[in-house]
Each structure stands twice: as structure tokens, then as C-alpha cells.
Structure 1
Amino acid sequence: MSFSKFEKKQAMNQKVLEENNYDLICVGGGIMSATLTLMLKLIDPKLKIIIFEKLSEVAKESSAAWNNAGTGHSALCELNYTPERPDGSIDISKAIEIFSQFETSKQFWAYLVEQKLIKDPQHFIHSVPHHSWVTGENNINFLKKRFEALTETSMFEEMKFSEDPAILQEWFPLITEGRENEKMAGTRMEIGTEVNFGSLTRQYFKILEEQFDVPVLRNHDVLDVDPDETLEWTIEAQNLDNGKVTYYDAEHVFIGAGGGALPLLQKVEIDEKDGYGGFPVDGQWLVCKNREVIEEHSGKVYSKAGPDAPPMSTPHLDTRYINGKKELLFGPFAGFTTKFLIEGSKMDLPKSINKENIPSMWGVFWHNLPLTKYLMKQVTMDHGDRMEELRVFIKNAKAEDWELKVAGKRVQIIKKDEEQGGVLEFGTDVVHSKDGSVTALLGASPGASVAVSIMLEVINIAFPEKVTSQEWQQKLSKMIPFWNKNIEGNKSQFKKVQANSSKKLELDVLH
């Protein structure tokens, strides 16, 4: 169903009914919208918020367990967060940032358990040790330098490093088997976690609907976001069950629709969106079918990505807990797609290209030819090729024990760059209007793991005056003790807060 500009304007100029006027409209039924809404309702229950989800259920796209890496990303094992500088030193600034952000998430979750809003944390989070593992002298030297740099901080002081084959065998026996004469090293952090973000997101929505009466309109597609004459925003939403289009007004709009965020943001009349593009990639995993093999491994083991592979493709062998069962996955592998969502259209990518982002898109293509070559290689892989990749980790892996599972879509951000025209951004960006009334989240990893910190950023952008009020400051500090504190500057207090979070979340006691 389509409307002429005249009809749309006429409808928007009509007096909007009181029940369709909100303080905040959230687009997307995933972890981001749910986190933002729950945080705001806990701070100010009077805020009027509504959420739109295009699918019939929430948490079906990037937040779903099979579509998400499941790692509680905190830089304990992910080597791409600690790059080596040209002088050979290790840059740990990103690792410190990610660690702090994930601890913020844990503090918020612990608060929800304390308030009995979440009754059983083991439905979404488990203690799973995080390891880094490398082979060869150069990589071992890198890992050792990384270990030494990280353990100078209180955040990573409990990290263990070893080149001893006997210790490494205790940590990850599946990987060490058959490597008696191979030089290798590993690190281990006991406080690592495995998180089922799909389960967590569904619990959030249950709380929002049952205890805060937040409307969550499923099967509703947001077609457009337009400014209205009252300096608010008008949302045009279509009920996919009956085709009916309804208009909703709000002072603030948050677009947290995963891969669907970019196409909608491009319709919003703000200059800040210009130049942004998206590069969609299929995520794929090898999933173990042999329960004996699954039980032999416990932990997340990350290694170094290949020379042309993007950071998002860092290979890892993962213990997962999905639908109440322990699983073992290896990947990720990349597949080519033009869809931005699993339930999206093959025209998503072509339709997203416009005159504002063509220079960005071309710049990324021209300056990332090795990445294009890498993706072409990934697309043409068969089961035998993927098994060879797995055997870099598990030497005696049997092809019949593993099967391929296609996971969710990831839309990597492409943004303007003065020198190269455009660059690929491998994190997450909060794009917003100058006045903060519209915010949109673009990007992928570390994504869900740091949702609480990202939503704190959104709250600061959208509600700057309220955030500085004593009432909001006190409530935020109660929910998230370190939301505005530096860990290194408050070591003893942080350790107490960290121990409390682990206890509330029923994670293993800190060593």
C-alpha cells in the first residue's frame, strides 16, 4: 500500500490522537530497543514508550542465539581488540574500553536479578573460560606481549599465560591433541561468559509488557519517519496483518532495527545520515553433532584471523548453551548476501546505494580488494574446505561430526572518509540528529554484549538535561554503579561491584 506525498502530508497534519503520542518510539524488537526501553522505564516509569517489530516475534534476527556469537565480549580473548603497533608494542585501549562496557552490562543484569525482574540468570548467562590460542614463534611473541600489557591493569590481572603443553591440554584438550611437537601458547581468563542474548531479550520484553505496560506492536513495519509541524517526529507504520497504516507522534525516535536500521535511517530528514552505507555478510557456523566431542571441550578459544580476513572473522571454537543444551560451534564463515536481514529482500543492498554514499561505497571497494578476494574465497568453500579450517584447531576433526548452520546477517558500516572516500567500520556507531531527537544504531560486533553502554550513550544524546539531574544520576548509579566511573581509578570499589555482579548472576566465584 502506497500513499502520495499529498495524502501523507494531509494525514500527518491531522490532530494526532492522545494515545498515539509518545515520548519515545523504538523501531526494532531486539536487544537494543529492549535495553533502552527497560533502562528508561526503570529511571522514569512515566515515560510513554512504544516499540515496533516487523516480525511476528521479538529477538528473531541478530539477537537470536543461533544468529549471535554468544560470547560475552569483554576483550579477554579477542585478539583483534589488541593490535600491535608499528613499534611492536601492544595497543590495549580498545580492550580496556570493551572490558569496561561489558562489566557495565553485567552490573545492569545483576540489578535486574536483585530487583527480582529476572528470576533465573542461568537462562541467559553461564561461566565459560575465555582463551586465546596461537602457534608459531611470531604469534607466541605477540600473545606474550599482549598478556604482559593487559596484566599491568587491574582489569586483566587474573589472566594466565602458558606455553606448557600440559597446562594447555588442561585448558583445551581437543586443540592440543596431536600437537606434541608444535610450538604454541595460550591465555586463559576464568571470568569469561557465554550469553544467550535471544533469551535475555525475550525476558526484557516480558518485563516491559507485563510490568511496565509498554506496547510492543509485532507485525508492524515502520515505513517512514518524518518531522511534523510541532517539532516532533511522525512515524508511519503499517500493520502487516491487515495492511492498515497508522501514524504515531513522538519527541524522540530510536532506530535499533539491526540490518533494517540503515534503510530506514536513509529516509529520515537529517544531514548526519549522509555518506553511510552498508555491506551485508552472511554468518555461518560449523555445528558439532557428536555429543562426546561437545563434552570434551569447555571454553571459548579465539585465535588470529588470516592476513586478509576482517576482524569480525576471527576464528574461534566455542562452547555455547542454546535452548538448554550445551553446544560446540566453530567459525565464523562468511557468505555473500544482498539482504540486510534474514527476513529481508535481495534488493536491500541495491536500494541502499544513493548519491550521498556512492563515494563511500566505492572507496571501501577500491581500498579493500584483499577483503573482496577473501569473501569470494569464503563463498566458494564447500564442506571439505570448512573442515580444513576447523582442523587448524582440531587436528582429528571428522567431517561427519559437523554440519553447516547459516546464522544471521551482519551489515558492516561504511562511512565517509576524507582520504579514502569511505572506510569499513567494524564496531557500532550511534548516528543522531543535532538535537538528539533521532538516534540510530548501525554496526555489528561487539553489539549485544555492550548494549547497556551503547544505550547509555543514546540516553546522553537524547535526554542530556535529564541525565544531568540529580534524580536520574542517582537512579543510574543504583542500577549501574560504574556507569560514569573509571575502573582503574576506583580499583577496590570496582572489585567489590564485580564480585557482587558475579554472585547475583550465579557465575563462578572470582579467582
Structure 2
Amino acid sequence: MPHSTHIHNPDVIIIGSGVMSANLGAMLKRLEPTLSIQVYEVTEELAQESSHGWNNAGTGHAGICELSYTPHREPDGTVKVAKAIEIFEHFDHSKQFWAHAVASGMADKPKEFITPLPHISFVHGKEMVEYLRARYEGMAAHHFFRGMEFSTDREKIASWAPLLLEKRGEVPIAATKMDGGTDVNFGNISRKLLGWLEKQPGCGIASNHRVTDLTKTATGWEVKTRNLVTGESHENNAKFVFVGAGGGSLALLQKSGIPEAKGLGGFPIGGQWLVCENPEIVARHQAKVYGQPLESAPTMAVPHLDTRILDGKKTLLFGPFAAWTTKFLHKKGSYLDLPLSVKPDNLATLLKIGVSNLPLVKYLIQQGTQSMQDRMDVLHVFYPGAKAEDWKLIEAGIRVQAIKKTDGEAGIVHYGTEVITNEDRSISALLGASPGASVSVNIVLEVVKKCFGHLLETPEGRARMKEMIPTWDEDIKKPENAARFAEVDRRSNELLQLI
């Protein structure tokens, strides 16, 4: 149902209703209950773009199974695992905040948005087997990954994920498994948090509202919106604006005119999934299994075979497959989004990206023209016994890979999420890619630290943040903090009904 609550001249305006916006809005209101907050959303329902359940894999990215965060073996044979450890800590912030949301009544029924699910890494070929062994040795030494198992034994791996071994040849294989993984419905947790926010004094949500312009004022920002149902335009003012509009963030940043947006570009990549709903097959797979990256593929295209739980129904997803698009948003985007994003200040950067990423362009063309059999051939690398009649192709969300110029070089932001904040810290916007939604709480925590740091300088503010994220000011990565991590993690898992 549409939302139509309007707050005049609030302290904060949030653009977009996805998981980033939902977490920030809820966090700010808990941190300072007197803040007034207005949310604008272009779609009728909330969290319908990248956060929507079918538009992402729902992986609780914690660095457990994603080989992208530990891509290389060093000359001495080891694998550096610092990035996986960092991602794990960031996702743990999400778990802590969502556990607080459940405990405090901000979100109910945690099983509707998070489910325990083993996370498995799976590789084949002698070289990759040795890589995975070295990765396991590096990760299992850290207290975050205690309980991770490694095996090259085919019967053992078949007991973890039977579909991986069905009709498989004698090529060397290896896998790691950890039971602490999760499947997350980011759309549901977003709607729960926003539902709570809308009920708080001084807070409103208006859906079917497109933000058409941002203008700097002496005290903050003037935000112009258009009601997509009535066609009426409105103006509102706020001291702080958060642009959490997913693929729509770049255009709004450009409209803001802030110097920090100069030179930024966006490269949209559409997504598709193969989906299996055959109950006999779905019942045989209970894990998220991530494999080796595809050559020349973007970050989001590392293949994985996933159990997916949406609205209580289990299915299997495989992919993602990329698709060429010029739209920046799945539901409310336009094919003119990419052309209109090209400006004099980012033209050179975009051209350089095109020239230096010809393998990526070739990959997108290949992906867009492949047949169902081509896609099944990729699935057979994971599940050799898969039959085409059990799978269908569906459209997924759109990822806009941020493009920026750093030290004179143009590059696609494959990892992490860019937080763009202007000099007076009156506006922040988010651009970027994986792991995105999983680490959204850590990302918005950084926004709070940077733009609302004064709220954390009081004893009351620090105590409130400590209630929301118990380890927000602690480094639980350190070995001496292993017991503290175990204590907090157990509490989060209990509240989220993960154990």
C-alpha cells in the first residue's frame, strides 16, 4: 500500500527506502529520538529495487564463502584473509543492530528476514584445490571462522551439498563449509524498520514521490519532489540529506552540484537468475555454495548455487547472469539513465573505462546473447545432473558499478560501497557494489560518525549506540577479543532465532 505521511522541514530527508535508508533512519531515530525524518520513495511499495528479495541472492555476506574477498595465493603459498575478516566484522554489526531491533520492538518475527544457512566454497581442479586449502588454513586460524571445515573427500562434500556430486566426473574438488552463514530478505528487514520509523513522532514516509532536484541553501538543502500519482510538485527543506536511492543516487548527486560528485560515473549491469522450484530438488540442497569467479566477469557475477527463502517458500537460485542495460533502476529506471549520466566532467573517465575494460564489455555482450543451454552449461559446473526443464530464467536487480577517477586513473568500484559526503557534511550518498546490503549497518554507522558525530560525543549518545551495536567502538577482530565476540555473537544469534 502507498505511504503518504509528510513532515514539513524535517531535520533529515532520506531518499530511497532500501536497506541502507531503512537502517540509517531507524538508527538515527534511536540515537536521537527528537530528530524529525522524512523518507521519499519513487515506487508505491517500499524496498522494491535492489533490496527486494528477488533482486539479490540474499547472502548474508560475511566473507565465509565468497572467494572474491581472498582472490590470490601469495608467492609463499598463503592466502591473505584480512578482507574476509573485515567483511565478517561489518556483517556482524548488521546482526547486532537487527538483533537490537527485535529486542526493542522495532522489528518482529526475525525468521521473516533472516534464516540460518551453511555457507560453502566449492572449487575444482588441482590448482584451485590447493588455493582453497591455503585459504581455509588462513581463515580457520581466526576466531571469526572457528568451526569452518575443509574437505577434498567426495563423500564428505556430498553430505554437505548432494547436488554438487551428482553425475560429477573424477576432477579434483574441494570445499569449505561453515554453519554460521545466513540467508537474508533485505526487503523485509527494510520494511519492518521503516514501518517502525513511520510510527514515531516527527517521522513520515511518502511513496510514489520522485525527487527531482536538490539545491544547497544556507541551512541545508531544498528538496523538490513530484507526486507520481497527482503530478503535483512540492518543496521541502532539511539540514541533512541522505541519498540512498541505489542506482538513482548518481543522478541526484549530479543535481546537487557538490564538488565531490564531479567526475563520478556509473556502469549499469543487469542481472538474471536461473530458478528451480521443483520440491524434490530444492529439498536436496540446503546451503549457499559459491564457486570460482568467471573470467572477465564483474563482481556480482561470481557464480553461486543458493537455497533462497522468501516469504516462507524455499527455492534454488543459480547465477547471476549479467545482462546489458542502460537503466539504473529495475522498476523505475529509464533507458536514458546511462546516456543522461554522461557529463563533461566524467566523459573522459567513462571513455577510459570503456577502453580499459573491453573484456568486461565482451562478457556483457556474450551474456546477453547466450541461450538457455549456454546457461545450463554454467550450472552444470556446479550441478552436473541439472535438467533444463527444472529451471526457469527470471530478471533480477540492476547494479550500478560506481566509476571514479583516483590518482589520475579511472576505475570501476568493484568492492565496497562508496560513501560520498560533501565538505560541510550536510549530504551523503551511496554508490558501489558488493557486499552492499549485508554490511549496510556498518556503512550507515560510518555516515552517522561523519555527519552526526556530535550525537556520539555525549554519554547518552554513546550508551544508545552501544545498545544498538554493542561492539561499535571495539575491535573484535583482535585475538584478545575472541571471548567478547563469542558473547555478543551468541546474544545476536539468540535474538534473531539463528540457534
Q: Same fold (TM over 0.5)?
A: yes
**Are residues 481 and 358 of structure 1, via their aligned partners in 2, closer, same or farther at CA, if it must alter by over 3 Å?**
same
Write out aligned runs for 1:6-45 (5 A). Answer: 20-45=8-33
Q: Which residue of 2 aligns with 1:453?
A: 442
Distance 1:196 1:426 in 2: 21
Tell me, yes or no, if the aligned pair for 1:426 and 1:443 is still in contact at 8 Å: yes
| Residue of structure 2 aligned with 1:182, choices 168, 171, 180 | 171
The corresponding residue for 1:348 is: 337
Cα drift, residue 211 of structure 1: 4.1
Moved more, 283-292 or 461-470: 461-470
- Give the direction of change, closer, same or farther, for the CA distance of 1:407–1:423 in structure 2 (3 Å limit): closer
TM-score by length of 1: 0.94
* Counterparts of 1:425 and 1:167, CA distance in 2: 34
* Residue 484 of structure 2 is aligned to residue 496 of structure 1: no
Q: Does 1:307 align with 2:295?
A: yes
Which AA in structure 2 matches 1:377? Q
The residue identity in structure 1 corresponding to 2:269 is V
Structure 1, residues 311-348: CA drift from partner, whole Å, max 9, x if none?
Answer: 22110000010121011010000000000001211000
* 2: CA distance, partners of 1:385 / 1:200: 35
2:31–2:455 contact (8 Å) kept in structure 1: no
Equivalent-residue separation in structure 1 for 2:74 and 2:153 (angstroms): 29
Q: Which residue of structure 2 aligns with residue 7 of structure 1?
A: none
Equivalent pair of 2:108/2:192 in contact (CA under 8 Å): no
The 8 Å contact of residues 360 and 423 in structure 1, kept in 2 or not, is answered as: no
Opposite residue 54 of structure 2, the aligned amino acid is W
Pairs aligned (count): 490
Of the three residues 460, 466, 470, the one matched with 2:455 is 466
Could you say what secondary structure the match of 2:348 adopts?
helix
The 8 Å contact of residues 413 and 426 in structure 1, kept in 2 or not, is answered as no
2:48 counterpart (57, 60, 75): 60
Select which of 106, 110, 118 maps to 1:121.
110
- Partner residue of 2:227 out of 233, 236, 239: 239
Q: TM-score of the superposition, structure 2-length normalised?
A: 0.96
Work out the CA distance in 1 between the residues paired with 2:416 and 2:68: 12
1:181-211: CA deviations, max 9, x gaps?
2310000010000001111111112111124
* Inter-partner Cα distance in structure 2 for 1:270 and 1:405: 38
Cα contact 2:149–2:178 (8 A) shared by 1: yes
What SS class does the counterpart of residue 47 from structure 1 fall into? coil
Aligned twin of 1:11: none
| Rounded Cα–Cα distance in structure 2 between residues aligned with 1:379 and 1:266 | 30
Indicate whether 1:91 and 2:84 are aligned. no
For residue 506 of structure 1, what is the amino acid of its counterpart? Q
Per-residue CA deviations over 1:436-475 (Å, capped at 9, x if unaligned) read: 1110001222111111100001111211222222221111
Displacement of 1:212 in angstroms is 4.7
Q: 2:496 aligns with which of 482, 486, 505?
A: 505
CA distance in 1, matches of 2:9, 2:298: 43
> Is the counterpart of residue 263 in structure 1 residue 254 in structure 2?
no
Alpha-carbon distance between aligned partners in 2 of 1:171 and 1:320, rounded to the nearest angstrom: 17
Alpha-carbon contact 1:360-1:417 (below 8 Å) kept: no
Secondary structure at the residue paired with 1:155?
A: helix
For residues 297 and 423 of structure 1, what CA distance do their matches in structure 2 show? 34
Specify the alignment match of 2:395 in structure 1: 406
- Deviations 1:468-492 (CA, angstroms, capped at 9, x unpaired): 2222111101111111211133111
Structure 1 counterpart of 2:255, one-letter code: K
Partner amino acid, structure 2, of 1:503: E
Aligned counterpart, 2:197:
208
Contact kept in structure 1, 2:414 and 2:434, CA below 8 Å: no
Asked if the contact 1:362–1:421 (Cα under 8 Å) also holds between the matched residues in 2, the reply is no
Distance 2:413 2:174 in 1: 31
Distance in 1 of aligned mates of 2:270 and 2:415: 15
CA distance in structure 2 between the partners assigned to 1:426 and 1:358 by the alignment: 23
What does residue 389 of structure 1 align with? 378
Indicate the SS of the match to 2:320. Answer: strand
Tell me how far apart the structure 2 counterparts of residues 423 and 210 of structure 1 sit (CA, whole Å). Answer: 40
Task: Provide the C-alpha distance between the structure 2 equivalents of 1:325 and 1:19, rounded to a whole number of angstroms.
Answer: 37
Task: Output one character per residue of 1:202-239: Cα deviation in whole Å (capped at 9) or x when no partner.
Answer: 111211112455210111111111112x3321111111
Q: Tell me the residue number matched to 1:4.
A: none
Percent identical: 45
- Name 1:71's counterpart in structure 2: 59
Q: Which amino acid aligns with 2:490?
A: A
**Unaligned stretches of 5+ residues in structure 1:** 1-17
Whole-angstrom CA distance in 2 between matches of 1:361 and 1:85: 32
1:337 is aligned to 2:325:
yes
Q: Do the aligned partners of 1:415 and 1:425 also contact (CA within 8 Å) in 2? A: no
Instruction: Identify the range of structure 1 (265-274 vs 173-182) with the bigger mean alpha-carbon deviation.
Output: 173-182
Q: Which moved more, 1:396-405 or 1:89-98?
A: 89-98
Q: Is the 8 A contact 2:69 2:83 kept in 1?
A: yes
Q: How does 1:353-372 map to 2 (within 5 A)?
A: 353-372=342-361
Instruction: Report whether the alignment pairs 1:416 with 2:416.
Output: no
**Hey, what's the Cα distance between the residues in 2 that align with 1:43 and 1:421?**
38
Can you list the C-alpha shifts for 1:261-318, whole angstroms capped at 9, x where unaligned?
1011111121001111001011100000311111110000000112212222110000
- Root-mean-square deviation (CA), in Å? 1.4
* Structure 2: gaps of 5 or more residues: 1-5
* TM-aligned CA deviation for residue 96 of structure 1: 1.1
Distance in structure 1 (CA, Å) of the matches to 2:495 and 2:47: 24
State the match for 1:106 in structure 2. Answer: 95
Deviation track 1:40-68 (CA, whole Å, cap 9, x = no partner) reads 11111110110000111111111100001
Aligned partners of 1:432 and 1:438 also within 8 Å: yes
Are residues 170 and 206 of structure 1, via their aligned partners in 2, closer, same or farther at CA, if it must alter by over 3 Å?
Answer: same
Distance 1:104 1:382 in 2: 41
Report the CA distance shift for 1:102/1:439 in structure 2 as closer, same or farther (over 3 A): same
Distance 1:159 1:32 in 2: 30
> Conserved in 2, the CA contact under 8 Å of 1:128 and 1:300?
yes
8 Å Cα contact 1:221-1:240 kept in structure 2 = yes
- Cα offsets for 1:343-385 (capped at 9, x unmatched): 2110000000011111221121111111111111111111111
Maintained 8 Å contact 1:312/1:426: no
In structure 1, distance between residues paired with 2:465 and 2:482: 20
